[in-house]
Amino acid sequence: MFKKYCRKWNLAITKTQIICVAAGIFLYVLIELTSVLGGRGGASGKELKRAGPGQGETTYEVEISGLDKERSDKKIPVKIPVGERIYSEEEAKKLFETMKPKLEEQMLGENESLLKIRKNLNLKTSLSDYGIKIRWETDNPDLVDSLGKVHNQQAAETGESVILRALVSDGVHEHTYRFPVMVYPPDRSLQEKTEEEFLTWAQKEDQKQQTEDYLRLPNEYDGQLLTYSIEKDSSHRLFPFLGLFMALLLHAKVNSDKQHLAKKREQQLLLDYSEVVSKLVVYIGAGLTLRNSWERIVAGYDAGVKEGKRGVRPVYEEMMKTVSQLSSGVSESRAFGEFGRRCGLQSYLKLSALLEQSQKNGSRQLRQSLELEMISAFEQRKNLAKKLGEEAGTKLLIPLLLMLGVVMAMIVLPAFLSFY
C-alpha cells in the first residue's frame, strides 16, 4: 500500500532514507523511555532524581497544574533546583574504608612502593567519581611537599621517613588517612655518584681556601691521578660565518640599491618625456632649428640647476652629453641616435628615431610628428601618475594595518587577561 502511494505521487524512497527515519524515531522513543524510567519526572511526575555526590545541583523545569485557584487545569512552568545527593553515615564509612587502597595505589606514581620513594608522588586533590575532595599535609615539607614533589637530592642513602596525611571530605563527612613513606636519594650511576662526591669535596676546599687568590685542585683524588682542562669559549668561531653572511647581505644590498636607482631613473625619464617633447614643439614652432632648440633646452636646465631652482634630472643630463657630442663634431643623426640608446626606454628610442629621420628626410614633417608624439606623451604621463598614486595608496595600507593591530591588541588583551 505504501509503495503504491509513493508511485502515485512519484516519490523515490530509498532504503537509506527509510533507515534514517526509523533511526530518528527509535532515538526519540529511547530518550523518552530513559527520561521516564530514569526518574526524570517519575511515573507520576512527583519524583525528581538527584545528581550523584559531587556532581552539583540539577534544575528541572516542571509544569504544575492546580497552582492557579481559578483555573485548576492550567499548567504553570516552574524551575525547581534539586541539590546533589549526599552520602549517609554508613555509605560514607564504607566508602572511606574501601578508598584507602585505591588512594595508595594512585599516589605511588612511578615509584615501586611507599617504602621506597625516589620520584615525585601523584597526590590528587579530588576524586570526581566519588565527589570527594582531598587535602594533603606532610610533616617534612623540605623532603616531600603537599603537592607530591620529592626533594631527595640530599636524602640519606639509608632513607628518611615522612608522614603524609590525606584529609578527605564529601562536604559533610570527613576522614583522615595516614601514609608513612620512606624517601631515598634518586638512582645514580657510579659516575654520577663519583662526580657528586668530588663536587662536595671541592666545595669544602673552596671554603677552606677563600683567603687565597686561587682555588688549588688536587693532583690526586681517591687514588687516581687527575688532570684538568677548562672548556674554551667557542662562540668566536661564528665570526667567519657572520663575516661571510654580512658580505652576502652587503652584496644583496648593493644589487638592491642599483635596482632601486635604475627604477627611480626610469620613472624620472618617463615623467620628463612629455616635458622634453613639448619644449621641442614650442622651440621648433618658434622657428628654431632642431639643434638650436636642443641647445636652448639644455641651457635653460643648466642655469636652473646652478641657481638651485631645480634638481638633477637624468634626461637633461643625457641631453647635455648630446650637446657635447655635437660640439665635438659628431653628426646630429648619430648624436640623437645615441641619446635614445642611452635613455634605453621605448619612448626615447621612438623620439630619437623621429629626430634621425628628420635629418635624413628634412624637417618639414618634424613638428607635426612631435605634436602627435606630445599627445601620446601626456597620455602616458597621466597613466604613470595614476599608477604611482595607486602604489602610494597601497603603501599607506601598511601603517593602517599596524594601527589596526594595535587597536585590536588593546581590545583583546584585557579580555584575555581577565581570565587570569
How far is the C-alpha of 385 from the C-alpha of 397, rounded, in Å? Answer: 19
pLDDT for the residue numbered 177: 86
Burial of 199 (0-12, 13-18, 19+ CB in 10 A): exposed
128 and 19: one domain? Answer: no
pLDDT for the residue numbered 40: 43
pLDDT for the residue numbered 19: 82
Q: In terms of residue numbers, what domain contains 6?
A: 1-37
Phi and psi dihedrals of 334, rounded to 5? -70, -45
CA 383 distance to own-chain centroid? 40
Domain boundary residue among 133, 160, 183?
Answer: 183
State the pTM of this model.
0.43
Domain assignment of residue 99, yes or no: yes
CA nearest neighbour of 162 among 124, 116, 125, 103:
116
Domain boundary residue among 146, 161, 183?
Answer: 183
Domain assignment of residue 246, yes or no: no
How far is the C-alpha of 358 from the C-alpha of 364, rounded, in Å? Answer: 8
pLDDT for the residue numbered 45: 55
Instruction: Give residue-wise pLDDT tens across range 393-413.
Output: 888 888 888 898 888 888 888
140 and 268: one domain? Answer: no
pLDDT for the residue numbered 279: 87
Domain assignment of residue 199, yes or no: no
pLDDT for the residue numbered 373: 81
CB 67 within 8 A of CB 79: no
pLDDT for the residue numbered 316: 87
Domain boundary residue among 126, 154, 183?
Answer: 183
β-strand pairing of 224-225 with 75-82: unpaired
CA nearest neighbour of 149 among 188, 117, 101, 196:
117
Domain assignment of residue 202, yes or no: no
CB 169 within 8 A of CB 96: no
Domain assignment of residue 326, yes or no: yes
Q: What is the CATH number of the domain that holds 169?
A: 2.60.40
How far is the C-alpha of 263 from the C-alpha of 273, rounded, in Å? Answer: 15
Domain assignment of residue 255, yes or no: no
Domain assignment of residue 361, yes or no: yes
- How many structural domains is the chain composed of? 3
| pLDDT, averaged in runs of 10, over the chain (420 residues) | 49 68 80 60 58 70 71 73 75 80 83 85 80 86 86 82 87 85 80 74 80 78 75 73 83 87 86 85 84 88 86 87 88 86 87 81 74 82 81 82 88 76
Instruction: Give residue-wise pLDDT tens across range 84-116.
Output: 777 777 877 888 878 888 888 888 888 888 888
Q: At 223, is the secondary structure helix, strand, or coil?
A: coil
Find cell 505504501 and name the residue: 2
How far is the C-alpha of 185 from the C-alpha of 119, rounded, in Å? Answer: 9
272 and 396: one domain? Answer: yes
Domain assignment of residue 278, yes or no: yes
